[in-house]
């Protein structure tokens, strides 16, 4: 059959394909959500989020996979980095923290906003996510999903293909861009539904469930809480990177001491040294690189930290040793006896 043409002999305009923006991580769930959409003929562009605590959405360790996944799916990918604005939110999240320092509702709100921005920019019709109802206690229940949508003015604009049958119909379903019948009815923490879908899509080695971001780690969260409690405004991104390495000690309200645990950490700590940091290293013995980060320092503070540094070096426990102190490039030496481990542990974060 010949194609119908208008009076100017121009071919009729091609109907615009429905388009969605996907919040993509390197994990399985968002990958499946995208595949479900592609199967329905929806155009997809992806947004991946990087926070200071998490490489791409909630997928700990799967950050490096996200580009690979987007390529595999044949979709465009935009990466959005959250920096200081994330730390500001973390200091005082409107909806509070989960079981650790994870502000999941506010965090997802920021992610939705990034996806929304891309949706508007690319003239897409809606947003999809790999969220599964009741998979995560804080942010994936009906109330939380509703709050996040409301806060971001995205009500009925976010489709979660894996759980859609358990959720109220979105605009995309209501106006027929999506056939709700083909949507998923997965919910809860079991991975059975996802694994069946993975099989359907021929994914031979589905990745394990994502481990969550650093803010869901209890020990790391203690460090985060400590730094938030002890800074006037917000910590710097450098402060946050430093939380990821070494042993941390709260010496005074304004002074923190960080001690490398091995050669690799020593290198990272060295790379994170910033203006005003005091570098402390034991001389003549193998030992850690340490940073004293504080507003004001005095001799007794430096001596205390030098003794801690000595305790974690190969210097004999009961003999005095020499420790070098570098302030703004100026090097000096002090003599200390390694600190007692019981005293040190009381300051450990």
Q: Does 139 bind ligand SF4 (CB under 6 A)?
A: yes
Residue-wise DSSP of 307-337: HHHHHTSSS-TTS-EEEEEEETTEEEEEEEP
Residue indicated by tokens 């009729």: 12
Residue nearer to ligand SF4 on the CB measure, 30 or 216: 216
Nearest alpha carbon to residue 175 among 195, 192, 159: 159
Quick one: which H or E segment has residue 222? helix 218-229
Specify whether the CB–CB gap between 18 and 172 falls below 8 A: yes
The correct pick among 27, 103, 207, 287 for binding ligand SF4 (CB under 6 A) is 103
Can you tell me the distance from the alpha carbon of 318 to that of 292, in angstroms, rounded to the nearest whole number?
23
The correct pick among 78, 108, 160, 311 for binding ligand SF4 (CB under 6 A) is 108
Q: Does 33 bind ligand SF4 (CB under 6 A)?
A: no
The correct pick among 129, 216, 221, 313 for binding ligand SF4 (CB under 6 A) is 216
Give the Cα-Cα-Cα angle 4, 7, 12 (nearest 5 degrees).
40
Select the span of 17-25, 127-135, 211-219, 222-230 touching ligand SF4 (CB under 6 A): 211-219
Q: Does 140 bind ligand SF4 (CB under 6 A)?
A: no
Residue nearer to ligand SF4 on the CB measure, 95 or 126: 95
Specify whether the CB–CB gap between 130 and 29 falls below 8 A: yes
Select the span of 38-46, 61-69, 201-209, 210-218 touching ligand SF4 (CB under 6 A): 210-218
Compute the Cα dihedral for 222, 224, 225, 226 and give only its sign.
positive
Residue 18: DSSP 8-state: P
Q: Does 102 bind ligand SF4 (CB under 6 A)?
A: yes
In the shown chain, the binding pattern of residues 171 to 200 toward ligand SF4, with x for contact by CB under 6 A and - for none, equals: ------------------------------
The correct pick among 48, 66, 104, 147 for binding ligand SF4 (CB under 6 A) is 104
Nearest distance in Å: CB 90, ligand SF4: 8
The correct pick among 133, 167, 215, 308 for binding ligand SF4 (CB under 6 A) is 215
Q: How many residues bind ligand SF4 (CB under 6 A)?
A: 13
Residue 248: DSSP 8-state: E
Q: Does 213 bind ligand SF4 (CB under 6 A)?
A: yes
Tokens standing for 94?
A: 């409107």
Select the span of 75-83, 99-107, 222-230, 283-291 touching ligand SF4 (CB under 6 A): 99-107
Q: Does 107 bind ligand SF4 (CB under 6 A)?
A: yes
Residue nearer to ligand SF4 on the CB measure, 58 or 145: 58
Tokens standing for 206?
A: 């589905």
Specify whether the CB–CB gap between 335 and 320 falls below 8 A: yes
HSE-CB at 256 with a 13 A cutoff on CA atoms is 19
Residues making contact with ligand SF4 (CB under 6 A) = 51, 54, 58, 102-104, 107-108, 139, 212-213, 215-216
């Amino acid at each position: 059959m010949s194609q119908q043409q208008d009076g100017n002999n121009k071919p009729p305009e091609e109907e615009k394909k429905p388009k969605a923006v996907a919040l993509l991580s390197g994990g399985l769930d968002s990958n499946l959500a995208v595949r479900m959409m592609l199967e329905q003929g929806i155009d997809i562009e992806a947004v991946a989020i990087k926070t200071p605590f998490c490489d791409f959405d909630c997928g700990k360790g799967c950050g490096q996979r996200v580009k690979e996944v987007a390529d595999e799916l044949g979709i465009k990918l935009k990466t959005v980095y959250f920096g200081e604005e994330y730390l500001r939110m973390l200091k005082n999240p409107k909806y509070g923290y989960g079981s650790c320092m994870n502000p999941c509702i506010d965090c997802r709100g920021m992610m939705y906003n990034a996806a929304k921005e891309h949706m508007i920019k690319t003239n897409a019709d809606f947003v999809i996510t790999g969220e599964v109802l009741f998979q995560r206690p804080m942010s994936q229940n009906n109330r939380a999903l509703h709050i996040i949508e409301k806060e971001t003015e995205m009500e009925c604009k976010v489709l979660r293909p894996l759980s859609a049958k358990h959720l109220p119909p979105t605009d995309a379903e209501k106006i027929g861009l999506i056939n709700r019948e083909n949507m998923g009815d997965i919910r809860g923490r079991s991975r059975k539904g996802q694994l069946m879908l993975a099989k359907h899509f021929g994914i031979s080695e589905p990745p394990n469930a994502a481990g969550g971001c650093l803010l869901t780690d209890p020990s790391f969260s203690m460090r985060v809480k400590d730094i938030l409690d002890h800074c006037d405004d917000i910590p710097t991104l450098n402060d946050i990177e430093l939380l990821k390495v070494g042993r941390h000690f709260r010496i005074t309200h304004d002074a923190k001491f960080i001690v490398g645990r091995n050669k690799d950490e020593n290198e990272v700590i060295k790379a994170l040294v910033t203006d005003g940091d005091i570098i402390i290293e034991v001389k003549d013995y193998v030992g850690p690189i340490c940073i004293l980060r504080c507003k004001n320092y005095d001799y007794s503070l430096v001596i205390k930290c030098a003794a801690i540094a000595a305790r974690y070096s190969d210097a004999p426990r009961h003999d005095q040793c020499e420790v070098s102190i570098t302030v703004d490039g100026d090097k000096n030496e002090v003599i200390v006896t390694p600190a007692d481990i019981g005293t040190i542990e009381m300051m450990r974060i």
